Structure 1
Amino acid sequence: MGVMEIIGIAGSVSLLAGWRLYLCLFATGLAMRLGALPLPEYLAALDVLANPWVMGVAALAALAEFLADKVMWLDSVWDAVHTFVRPVGGALLALAIVDPSDPAAQVIAFLLGGGAAFAAHAGKASARGVVNASPEPVSNVAVSSAEDIATAGLLWAAYEYPYVAGGIALVLLAITVWLLLTARRVLRRIFRRERERQS
């Protein structure tokens, strides 16, 4: 596997961890346990994710996140708490993917992985705040379900086709930027209307 493919996988997984950290951890461990994700030697650090205890904790946390994410405003509280957890998780996942014999690459992967996870998390949390402002509860469940499906599908694609993982990372980054810009526009409109109503 080439350097660009490794960077692509690290970037994709880090960005996805910003949306669904625990699902990323569980799905990666499950794929390794079932032999669907054979790891080369330099990714041996990810082997810990296939540990039954780690998978069990990740599965419980993924279930809790799945349920919390479907409830209006509880999802925003969950996101607020995970503002500190997801970037660290994304950084550690990226760190586990790069070659451990190259300390410079590890530091870069850690910083970029944490930054990517934080950017994805910020886009998700901002978009969810806008969705929560909607009076009906259906949109929240629909958006959350779309995030679940997209995370699982993109995670599988990143590991199955490492040569396109870089493209996946770029698409995720573009979606994150779009979500942040859209949330900003919508929130401005809401605040402007509120000010006009109070005037």
Structure 2
Amino acid sequence: MKLDAVQLIALAAALGWASGLRLYLTVLLVGVAGHFGWIALPPGLQILSSPLVMACAAVLAVVEFLADKIPLIDSAWDALHTLIRIPAGAALVAGLVGGWAGDQGQAWGIVAALLGGGLAATAHTAKASTRAAANTSPEPFSNIALSLIGDVAVPTMLWLAWAHPLIFFPLLALALLVMAVLIWLCFKFLRALVRRVRRSVPA
């Protein structure tokens, strides 16, 4: 199935946003969609439908699923993936948009990479800061609940971007607003926590 302009924009935004939360699951879902012909992937993303790439993404998605449920391990995983999720999100969006833009593909690819990287950075920062704040609580249930929300949100938003883009756009705007508030609240909380710890340590 070929994408129309609205679906293309929606899916590009969804890829950038989802990459900041669950990069490997995003790669796997896009690869599966292309492999079975549900979406006609542009040349820049056709490699994702390779069985080898899908198998690798599936293994890493399982590892991420498990690591994301364990307090402190989840924050270490997020810290490591600061260097991976954002450029990967930019590359995915650039590969999607650049292949559909014709003669202006390179220019639009750069614009798409900037926007995709920005969405991935926003989602990743919100996830990492929220999980770091949750790790200050001794109970593990909040970590698991937050992780499960991400597990459900990524495939749901990718599906909505493809099947119901006009529903996807307001949900994405709401998600970004919530994430911006969470980033501000979590950084404020973590900064206050660091100050309290410093005061309690003898000079």
TM-score by length of 2: 0.86
- Whether 1:92 and 2:91 are equivalent positions in the alignment is yes
For residues 61 and 100 of structure 1, the distance between their equivalents in structure 2, rounded to whole angstroms, comes to 31
Give 1:32 deviation, angstroms: 2.6
2:154 paired residue number: 151
Cα RMSD, aligned residues only: 2.1
Deviates more, 1:69-78 or 1:153-162: 153-162
Structure 2 CA distance for aligned equivalents of residues 121 and 14 of structure 1: 10
* Conservation of the 8 A alpha-carbon contact between 2:133 and 2:189: yes
What is aligned with 1:68?
Answer: 67
> How far apart in 2 are the matches of 1:47 and 1:134?
43
Further displaced range: 161-170 or 113-122: 161-170
How many residues are aligned here? 196
1:156-184 Cα shifts (integer Å, max 9, x gaps): 11122234443343233223212201212
Aligned pairs (5 A) from 1:76-115: 76-98=75-97, 99-101=100-102, 102=104, 103-115=106-118
Give the number of the structure with larger relative contact order, counting CA–CA contacts within 8 Å between residues 6 or more apart: 1
> For residues 15-61 of structure 1, what are the alpha-carbon distances to aligned partners after superposition, in whole Å with 9 as ceiling and x for unaligned?
110000000000111223334x2327xx3432221111110010011
Q: Please show how residues 12-161 of structure 1 align to structure 2 within 5 Å.
A: 12-35=14-37, 37-39=38-40, 43-98=42-97, 99-101=100-102, 102=104, 103-161=106-164
Deviation track 1:67-100 (CA, whole Å, cap 9, x = no partner) reads: 1111111111111111010011101110122124
How big is the shift at 1:192? Answer: 5.0
Residue 12 of structure 1 contacts residue 172 of structure 1 at CA under 8 Å; is this kept in 2?
no
